[in-house]
Amino acid sequence: MNLVILIIVLALIEYMVISFRTGMARVRYGVKAPAVSGHHMFERYFRVQQNTLEQIIVFIPALLCFSWTAENIGWPGYYIAAGLGVIWLIGRSIYFISYVRDPDSRMMGFLMTMAPTALMLLGTLICILMALV
């Protein structure tokens, strides 16, 4: 379970870094709060921050649910979830870098965050069904 908690902590730190970088972009590009538009580069940072928030609220529960239910049916759930979590973390970094550089290049990072989350949600359902039979 410690690996799963480590992944959650790293995901939260990554989100904090993205939020900090968005705040720095706000200053750099002169977009005064509460505005969320004004300079196209700031809007890219802001969009990454918002998309990461949208992703993380599904990722963390999926990580916890899958790791726990998989362990309960005898699978190495903590290790599988942690491995998928590493992919998610790397994917978020790729998404951040590529989106800020060129929003059209964000697909690889997006897929690297969406796929692990979807796999863990599907895996959770499978584990629950297996536990019922």
Q: Which domains does the chain have, with CATH numbers?
A: 2-128 (1.20.120.550)
pLDDT tens, per residue, the chain with 133 residues: 999 999 999 999 999 999 999 999 999 999 999 999 999 999 999 999 999 999 999 999 999 999 999 999 999 999 999 999 999 999 999 999 999 999 999 999 999 999 999 999 999 999 999 999 8
Q: What is the pTM of this model?
A: 0.96
Tell me how far apart the alpha carbons of residues 88 and 70 are, in angstroms, rounded to a whole number: 19
132 SS3 class? helix
The helix (run of H) or strand (run of E) holding residue 17 is helix 2-28
Task: For residues 50 and 119, give the distance between their C-alpha atoms in angstroms, rounded to a whole number.
Answer: 22
> Of 104, 15, 102, nearest to 54 (Cα)?
15
Q: Which two tokens stand for residue 98?
A: 């590529």
Spatial CA neighbour of 100 closest among 24, 8, 12? 24
Q: What is the pLDDT of residue 33?
A: 94
